Amino acid sequence: MQVFYLNKLNKHFGGGIPIRFDLIKFSKRLAGKERAIFKHLFYYLAPPFQSSNPSEQEKTKKKRYDSFIERLSQSNEITIRKGRCQKIKDIVLP
């Protein structure tokens, strides 16, 4: 939930475009402000939904996800935990 919130804030302050920042430095600074010791970052996420015949939008999202994972994987201070997304049905709220 916190990562989701962080992503929303990031896009909000970036005018809809995510702001680039160093996740490790950010995490260490946040830990320091809370008088905690940063040892390791666990990053939980799931790849975007891909239909059996992916649209261009789905392909673009997956490409960006793969690029993001590749960048995160380069740090030995981050462990990536991957989940999965499953589209159940479209929900229309009143």
CA–CA distance, 89 with 47 (Å, rounded to integer): 18
What is this structure's pTM?
Answer: 0.68
CA–CA distance, 91 with 27 (Å, rounded to integer): 35
In a domain, 88, yes or no: no
Q: Which phi and psi angles does 43 have, rounded to 5°? A: -115, 115
In a domain, 92, yes or no: no
In a domain, 73, yes or no: yes
Which tokens in the block code for residue 28?
């260490």
In a domain, 75, yes or no: yes
Angle at 92 between CA 91 and CA 94, to 5 degrees: 140
Q: How many CA atoms lie within 13 A of 72 on its CB side?
A: 18
From first to last of its 94 residues, the chain has per-residue pLDDT tens of 344 566 677 777 777 777 778 889 989 998 999 999 999 999 888 898 888 899 999 999 999 899 989 988 999 999 999 988 666 776 676 6
Give the 3-state secondary structure of residue 30.
helix
Write the CB contacts of 12 (distance below 8 Å, at least 6 apart in sequence). Answer: none
Domain hosting residue 26, numbered range: 2-82
In a domain, 87, yes or no: no
In a domain, 29, yes or no: yes
Number of folded domains that form the chain: 1
Cross-strand partners of 80: 43
pLDDT of 32: 92
